[in-house]
Homo-oligomer: A and B are copies of this chain.
Amino acid sequence: MSAVHSDDPRAQRTRARLKAAVLELAAQQELATITMSALARRAEVNRATVYLHYPDVDSLVTDALEDAVATVARAAALCPLDAPRDRAPLPLEELFEHVAANATTYARMLGPQGSARFAARLRERLTAELAQRFAGGRRPAVWDDVPVEMHAAYLAGALVGVVAHWVTARREHVPTEEAALAFWQLFRSGSRSTTTD
């Protein structure tokens, strides 16, 4: 039973180097063109060593972007469900600012050449976080019939869809606040009579 790759400082250093390397490369070229060999060279790590930590480029890049995923998921879950319809809540605006600041990365990851693993991970984290939020807090009564998990998956997908479309197609044309507001209005179009206590 191999106790593979624990908290050994050597392993941590190697993983850090690999994550840095893959982000550098991903900023320059498409994901599919990033080879394990080039990755190993860039990180100054033996090629065989890479496989001790990550089975493929996808897993590596997804792990490297775990912080970004967590940022998005947390921000989404922090939005007060009963915030006014004509103004996006602060966490949502910060979420879109974060995406705007890393627009090329998100565009590359969510595009046709992107990482299915990253997209799935982002949706999964968002769904989990939102479901938890919905289970704990009160949802507006309009949605009482809908299972919490479904609702979370719906919104997670919607956010990923809007973000993907925004960063790829028309980020020049639609400013950040406008995108955030649009998303918020789409979410809020319905429960216009605040919360349900």
Spell out A's residues near B (CB within 8 Å).
32, 56, 110-117, 119-121, 123, 127, 142-143, 145-147, 149-151, 153-162, 164-166, 169-170, 174, 179, 182-183, 185-186, 188-192
Taking CB atoms, residues of chain B closer than 8 Å to A188 are: 190
Taking CB atoms, residues of chain B closer than 8 Å to A142 are: 189-190
Q: State whether B183 touches A154 (Cβ < 8 A).
A: yes
Tell me whether A162 and B191 are in contact in the complex, defined as CB-CB below 8 angstroms, given that A116-B111, A119-B116, A120-B110 are known contacts: no
A113 to B142, CA, bound (A): 36
Q: State whether B127 touches A165 (Cβ < 8 A).
A: yes
Distance (whole angstroms) from the CB of A4 to the closest CB of chain B: 20
Q: Which of B116, B157, B191 contacts A113 (CB 8 A)?
A: B116
Give chain A's interface secondary structure class.
helix
Q: State whether B117 touches A119 (Cβ < 8 A).
A: no
A143 to B156, CA, bound (A): 20
Taking CB atoms, residues of chain B closer than 8 Å to A189 are: 142-143, 190-191
A189 to B120, CA, bound (A): 26
Distance (whole angstroms) from the CB of A63 to the closest CB of chain B: 12
Taking CB atoms, residues of chain B closer than 8 Å to A113 are: 116-117
Q: State whether A164 touches B123 (Cβ < 8 A).
A: yes
Q: State whether A158 touches B150 (Cβ < 8 A).
A: no
Q: List 6 A-B contacts (CB under 8 A).
A: A123-B164, A145-B185, A150-B186, A155-B158, A160-B160, A190-B190
Q: State whether B150 touches A182 (Cβ < 8 A).
A: yes
When C-beta atoms are compared, the residue in chain B nearest to A153 turns out to be B165
Taking CB atoms, residues of chain B closer than 8 Å to A112 are: 116-117, 120-121
Q: Give me 5 other A-B pairs in contact (C-beta within 8 A), A149-B170, A150-B182 excluded.
A: A116-B116, A127-B165, A149-B165, A150-B186, A190-B192
